[in-house]
Amino acid sequence: MNRAVGRSELPVPEASLWVLFRGQLRRDLKLALRQPAELANPLAFFVVVITLIPLGVSPEPEVLAGMAPGVLWIAALLATLLGLEALFRRDRDDGSLEQMVLRAEPLYLPVLARMMAHWLVTGLPLTLLVPLLGGMLNLPPEARWPMMLGLALGTPILVLLGGVGAALTVGLRTGGVLLALLVLPLFVPVLILGVSAAELAASGLDPAGPLLWLAAGASFALTAVPFAIAAALRIGVEAG
């Protein structure tokens, strides 16, 4: 009996932590791929918005080139926001969220896996579409790679910050508007830095400054924000 007690007090092996993370990531990716309609909604929104800009504003190449970085980033931001409300809601409805909160230890690992899966099916495709849609908006070629890199660094921040809002509003029946009000002010610095990087590159200047700030923000978000999401989920489950 003493040996059993001693084993239970040992720290969780790193292999077990990796299995927990990998299992949650695989599960979330499979569930996302089984629902192609929900998977396509943010991408379709992104493409439709970019396609309508030349028709609704101006087809002039100079006008489109000047507004392309801002339009691409705003469309990507709104497309990311579109899928956040359902991030934890389905798990809450079928009871698996409560099981994850009660059984997963540490909770931040499955939370991080959930955020990564969400980014892989939303943020990454949005980033990869930039060369095509940037060409439609006459985005200068020298600005396309900084634009892609900015989105690759910025969309994880948007997803993680949005995860905090989704966790805080998961217990509400109509939390979509409240979620937007919570997270949109947090998205603004990412938007400014991403647009600045693309505009600097389009002007022939070095975009390294804003990109480094985005990289620092992504590192901090990946390190700290999953703990905040986990705490918000625990509060929501206990309150429910």
Domain assignment present for residue 82? The answer is yes
Q: Is residue 16 part of a domain?
A: no
What is the rounded CA–CA span in Å between residue 158 and residue 118? Answer: 11
Q: Over 90: is that where the pLDDT of 23 sits?
A: no
Quick one: how many helices (H) and strands (E) in the chain? Answer: 12, 0
- Could you give the 3-state DSSP secondary structure of residue 201? helix
The pLDDT tens digits of the residues spanning 69-91 come to 999 999 999 999 888 877 887 77
Six-digit token string for 55: 């028709």
17 lies in some domain: no
On the CB side of 236, CA atoms within 13 Å amount to: 26
Domain with 117, as residue range(s), is 22-239
Evaluate whether residue 167 is within a structural domain: yes
Give percent of the chain with pLDDT exceeding 70: 90
In a domain, 2, yes or no: no
In the chain, the percentage of residues whose pLDDT exceeds 90 is 45
Residue 13 belongs to a domain = no
User: Residue 15 falls within a domain, yes or no?
Assistant: no
CA distances in angstroms from 37 to 29, 41, 107, 186, listed in the order given:
14, 6, 29, 28
Number of domains the chain contains: 1
Higher pLDDT, 143 or 7: 143
Going from the C-alpha of 11 to that of each of 14, 16, 20, 22, the distances in angstroms are: 9, 10, 15, 19
- Supply the Cα-derived Rg of the chain in whole angstroms: 20
